[in-house]
A and B are shown apart, each in its own frame.
Chain A
């Protein structure tokens, strides 16, 4: 690996990311999959870094899952998106940031389509007015939330309580970075670092002390792939994708995986359990799986948030071995306690989870 070669590519794919003042839009599914990630993102940006991130309960889905599943036509998803942008404008913002990778891809695709086909943009303006009586507007800057954490990575590092380093040995943790397909594969110039060697997560890993692993199936889909998973009869494809990735990364002995997509951490995390049940195989150390995180969760760990406040107890693969490596304290008794000490229950088949 020639690191300077990657640096050269990274220098060519640096997108403009404004420092502050964003209209923030949540994902449809992330709050179910990894419930604290979006909350932590807002807490870090607003309360730790003192940035202006506005959100409204009036925003909806972007329609991405329905669009990519062919359940709604493109004009419908574009009108939904026009409504989101109109809300941003209504609240006085020009910078739009979304939590979901599929949304980011769809917003980018929509803006590019409007640029190429102005007559379609006119049609959507009419749709928006007819359906919502809202004024059409487009964002000046479009970012994915991971772009922002990338942008703030050094600020976060300056407030770090823990690093991506094995405390006992001082060894940088070996980190797999997995980028959602819709981040830059469709429009490489819209992603930090481009499509082939994205830097958005690698930059965070480097800034926080870890070592990035480049393994052969790095670019491969996590296994979500919409039709692979949403159509029940295709789920074998989904699982085999994930299996292929783990087989490929295994020789590199990763300590953890970081992702920036709603689906990827879910599938990379949950399918490890399925693989262990089906084949009796686990990919981490000592019979454990490889813990999978969202970038907000990792930022939270680095900044010293309590692991259970980050929602790490709902991961399929236990995170404790990694917390131990990083020297992050945690109370095992509180793992399955929710708000007001409510008992959250315990996994029944914790094959690759560590209790």
Chain B
């Protein structure tokens, strides 16, 4: 019996699912479009809520795929169903016949420049959450000035925003903003730090504690209100206008750095593959699962499975759990077919 399983996307989700399927005896073929494994996790410095290093999580995930065939810098050229197997042609010239295909294609960060009023890509001192993680990892970013005195974080950039076309919550940005705000305070103890939020969605274990710590120990100022516009002063600082809805007043503050918490969108690379075999997507742009409670890992097309952020924003622990659940779903599918 052909026990091939094609896994598309070599981020943490694809890695975990591949490792689990390999342990179950399946012949896993994992492809990753980038030149390295790890997805966004490979570009992240530390993880909430404890602040452990991203590489401490990523390295075991990579180590666990020992024995799995994987191809880097490889994309799907075409995919189509032949009888009961998917014929997948890869950009490296290899063709794979696979009874099951697992989409772990993940997410793209919302392009922050689309929120034009925030000035990303226009003003020198506006960066994103991803840029800041890179700064934490490398200590280098010309947009981060030496000893910034005032730093702002804008939550929900491209999330919960009809104008941006994304009505949903991206789930991880609140906790990421609180984590990054504390890290900046630790790096620049003299800096005043503001978080502009709509609601703080601290739903996970330990998140609320992190939020309280941010207020008590780090003195982060949380302002409930959306930023309306950002502009640049003569000194190249950014002038932020917002509303403080709790005090009921408009607010204007000059900052040395503004960090935009860009949300999640279904990855363009995953969408491209989905369109080849007409995988359904919901109004939010993410892939539609067969059921909303009992069949979260299945597509309505037999043999196609989903895990991770390709079906909606998720935290890393949720993503890894879905990877394991998808492996079980695929195992059950093979058993049922036989």
Contact = CB atoms under 8 A, between A and B. Distances in A.
A2 B116 contact: no
B184 interface: no
Interface stretch (B71-79, B121-129, B195-203, B266-274): B121-129
Interface string A184-216: 000000000011110000000000000000111
Contacts of B236: 1
B124 A196 contact: no
Given A196-B116, A216-B239, A1 B124 contact: yes
A114 B266 CA distance: 34
Contacts of A59: none
A126 interface: no
A8 B239 CA distance: 22
Given A5-B113, A194-B116, A196-B117, A219 B231 contact: yes
A6 B124 CA distance: 12
B229 interface: yes
B231 A1 contact: no
Contacts of B233: 216, 251
A8 B120 CA distance: 12
B122 A252 contact: no
B124 A2 contact: yes
Contacts of B124: 1-2
Contacts of B231: 214-219
A180 B123 CA distance: 23
Nearest to B237: A216
B123 A252 contact: no
Looking at A9, A196, A197, A218, the one whose CB has the most chain B CB atoms below 10 A away is A196
A149 B116 CA distance: 25
B234 interface: yes
B232 interface: yes
Contacts of B239: 216
A252 B234 CA distance: 7
Contacts of B116: 9, 194-197
A251 B236 CA distance: 13
A251 B234 contact: yes
A216 B113 contact: no
A23 to B, nearest CB: 32
B333 to A, nearest CB: 44
Contacts of A214: 231-232
B232 A2 contact: no
A197 B229 contact: no
B232 A1 contact: yes
Interface in B75-120: 113, 116-117, 120
Contacts of A195: 116
A196 B117 CA distance: 6
A134 to B, nearest CB: 38
Contacts of B234: 215, 251-252
Contacts of A196: 116-117, 229
Contact of B122 (A1, A215, A219): A1
A219 B119 CA distance: 13
B122 A2 contact: yes
A216 B123 CA distance: 11
B117 A5 contact: no
A19 B236 CA distance: 39
Contacts of B229: 196, 219
Nearest to A253: B234
A1 B235 CA distance: 11
A8 B113 CA distance: 10
A216 B237 CA distance: 10
Interface in A248-294: 251-252
Nearest to A250: B234
Contacts of A5: 113, 120-122
A335 to B, nearest CB: 35
Interface in B223-263: 229, 231-234, 236, 239
Contacts of B232: 1, 214, 216
Nearest to B236: A1
Nearest to A3: B122
A219 B113 CA distance: 18
Most buried by A among B122, B124, B239: B122
Interface string A207-247: 00000001111110000000000000000000000000000
A2 B123 contact: yes
A155 to B, nearest CB: 29
Nearest to B123: A1
A182 B232 CA distance: 23
B242 to A, nearest CB: 14
A278 to B, nearest CB: 23
A217 B240 CA distance: 11
A236 to B, nearest CB: 17
Given A2-B121, A2-B123, A196-B117, 12 more contacts: A1-B123, A1-B124, A6-B122, A9-B113, A9-B116, A195-B116, A197-B122, A214-B231, A215-B234, A216-B231, A217-B231, A219-B229
Interface of A: 1-2, 5-6, 8-9, 194-197, 214-219, 251-252
6 contacts: A5-B113, A195-B116, A214-B232, A215-B234, A216-B231, A216-B232
